[in-house]
Amino acid sequence: MLNDDLFGQTYDQLTTKVFTTGQNFQMIASPIPFSFLTAGPGQIDPGIYQLVSQMPVWSPVGTFGQNGTTLFSAYRQLLANVTFKVDPGKQADLAAQASQINDYERQLVQAQGDQNQAYNVARNNGGAVFAAQYPDILTWLAGPGSTYTTTVNGLTKTINQLSDKYTTDLAAMQGDQSLKASIQAATTPTAAPSSGTPQPGWILVADAGGTLQWQPEFVLNKTPAVVRQDFAQGSVGSFTLTLSSATSSSSMKRSWAGGNASYGNPFFSVNAGGSWDQLSIDDNDKSVQVQISVKSSTVDLVSPGVWYNSGFLKNLALNQGAGGYQLANGWSVTGSKNAAFGPNGLLSTMVSSLALVYQPSVTVTMAESTMQRNKQKIAASGGVRIGPFTLGGSGGSQSDTKISLTGTTSFTATSTSTDPLIIGVNVGFPGGVNPS
């Protein structure tokens, strides 16, 4: 299949030629413009926060918001499934609290599953019109799916309240001061967000209404303003990818996640009237050639705040009672059910860095007959999307992209946008439990 082969070649070249420092690269099927702002002291832009705080799906290709589970919520749920060496009477109280948290977590998982199923059914029934209006589940949840958002938010609020009490009680029982401090840091601050003084491990993030709220901290190595400034100063990390429909690729199956990947989008699309429309290219057309060049690229490192205790998680991954704690009965380090870590684990992945590119350009060559079918659509478009690279359209204004037809078989699109593009993330693994 053309789509599979070209996405596979793109992934293979990105991981072997560009983002080679870590072999746990996840390509984003729907590229994200790095148009975030540098927020005030003790704050972070809500858009970038939503991205870095989530746990990526266990796949070489992901979609923004696809998993829906945050690293922090999974971390606190794991705390409720760890047995600590404390007074037996206190242990019984902790167990009762943990059971209540787990009951609500199961309800939340069911509610999230219901909303995902409802979106998929609506997308399948709605066809191209629905897909253009609601290209991802987050857009749909802000509109027709808002009732699901209300249910999920209500359950999340209850879980947070119960988890705050659990972590407060748990911290008070700890003799290990380092562990005690990190557990305390995983408790929502009692001070009003308007005080502007975050406790360690927390940061202020504006909600949908613009009101600042406490959120568990994530730290980026470079602010959005610094990233844009670095790119504007010169060309660093430039690269070129060369793809061909005559070449098959199975690199996705050899990725860190193994198995096949779901892309969510066609490899070739153009933007017309604010929506993305797939180009008509025959799967059996072996004449398609793609060259993607990028002026600059970099990675921006991401790390959780002090609420995240990596040493604690590594001890749990050994599960030998080191530090006076181990996984509760019925739980295992990895596995298919009640696993703490690994592909099916409660705490499976985390974002360790963002993969950014600056001012990409693409040249696509195809058979003359194929170009004739698509020529009018390309010429009238306000942007193009080639694999994980978006130029114009919803990834930037039309004025930021130049599209030109060359002869009877090629077209070129060049981005002049000053906003970089997030085309992937490097994935980290809590507890040090790397893919086998």
Question: In this predicted structure, what is the pLDDT of residue 163?
Answer: 87
Question: In this predicted structure, what is the pLDDT of residue 395?
Answer: 46
Burial of 14 (0-12, 13-18, 19+ CB in 10 A): buried
- In three-state form (DSSP H/G/I as H, E/B as E, the rest C), the secondary structure along the chain is CHHHHHHHHHHHHHHHHHCCCCCCEEEEEEEEECCCCCCCCCECCHHHHHHHCECCCCCCEECCCCCCCEHHHHHHHHHCCEEECCCHHHHHHHHHHHHHHHHHHHHHHHHHHHHHHHHHHHHHHHHHHHHHHCCCHHHHHCCCCHHHHHHHHHHHHHHHHHHHHHHHHHHHCCCCHHHHHHHHHCCCCCCCHHHCCCCCCEEEEECCCCCEEEEECEEECCCHHHHHHHHHCCCCCCEEEEEECCCCCCHHHHCCCCCCCCCCCCCEEEEECCEEEECCCCCCCCCCEEEEEEEEEEEEEEEECCCCCHHHHHHHHHCCCHHHEEECCCCECCCCCCECCCCCCCCCCEEEEEEEEEEEEEEEECCHHHHHHHHHHHHCCCEEEECCEEEEHHHCCHHHEEEEEECCCEEEEEECCCCCEEEEEEEECHHHCCCC
Question: In this predicted structure, what is the pLDDT of residue 393?
Answer: 61
Question: In this predicted structure, what is the pLDDT of residue 289?
Answer: 94
Which residue in 412, 373, 216 sits closest to 281, CA to CA?
Answer: 373
Question: In this predicted structure, what is the pLDDT of residue 325?
Answer: 84
Question: In this predicted structure, what is the pLDDT of residue 259?
Answer: 64
DSSP-assigned beta bridge partners for residue 44: none
65 contacts: CB under 8 Å, gap ≥ 6:
50, 54, 136, 137, 138
Question: In this predicted structure, what is the pLDDT of residue 250?
Answer: 60
Question: In this predicted structure, what is the pLDDT of residue 396?
Answer: 46
Question: In this predicted structure, what is the pLDDT of residue 260?
Answer: 60
How many Cα atoms within 13 Å fall on the side-chain side of residue 341?
Answer: 20
User: pLDDT digit of tens for each residue in the chain (436 aa)?
Assistant: 777 888 888 988 998 888 876 668 999 877 888 888 888 888 999 889 989 999 998 988 887 655 568 999 999 889 888 888 878 778 888 889 989 988 998 898 899 889 888 988 888 888 777 877 887 777 788 889 889 989 988 998 898 889 888 888 888 887 777 788 888 888 888 888 877 677 889 999 988 778 888 999 999 999 898 999 889 887 788 999 999 988 876 666 678 887 666 666 788 988 877 778 888 888 777 889 999 999 999 999 999 999 999 988 998 898 777 778 889 889 999 998 899 999 999 999 999 999 999 999 999 999 999 999 999 998 888 889 898 898 886 544 456 888 898 889 999 999 988 899 999 999 999 998 888 6
Question: In this predicted structure, what is the pLDDT of residue 334?
Answer: 93
- What are the residue ranges spanned by the domains of the chain? 2-64+218-305+348-429
Question: In this predicted structure, what is the pLDDT of residue 333?
Answer: 93
